[in-house]
Amino acid sequence: MSSDIEHFYVERGDPLLPLLPDGGGWEHDGEEHVAEGDGWLLSVYDPEPVEAAEIPEDLRGLVPGLAFRVDARLEPINPPDQAWALLEAVLDTVGGALGGATYDVRSGHAIAWRDGLRVRQQDG
């Protein structure tokens, strides 16, 4: 089993690879960027455009102009802390670069980035 995460962004971010944090040892295979550790795997997929109706309303309220989605998959569903830390780093570097919003997988809180900074976290 895995944790599937949708991140929504204002900008497209092509190419995505330069935005991913160091320390992942990223492999790029088509539209997928993969970091692998001891017993875990993090896949981050290239951005794709989305319709406003596909973006949760509360996230649209946090960051106006969301128009792209970057999906990620973290395996297994309860990976070690190192995998969670890399996912958090992905959220902050990509979110900071592109402006975006998502939900924290572990807490369910909405997270947003504007002007390069994490600006708000609230109950989702």
Angle at 115 between CA 101 and CA 93, to 5 degrees: 60
- pLDDT, one tens digit per residue, over 31-57 is 899 999 999 999 999 999 999 999 999
Instruction: State the amino acid at position 94 in one-letter form.
Output: V
pLDDT above 70 covers a percentage of the chain that reads: 95
Predicted TM-score (pTM) of the model is 0.89
Ramachandran region, residue 51 (left: φ > 0; alpha: ψ -120 to 50; beta: rest) = beta
Helix, strand, coil percent content, the chain, rounded in steps of 5:
25, 40, 40
Angle at 31 between CA 27 and CA 36, to 5 degrees: 30
- pLDDT, one tens digit per residue, over 70-80 is 999 999 988 99
Scanning the chain, the segments in alpha helix (DSSP H) are 57-62, 81-98
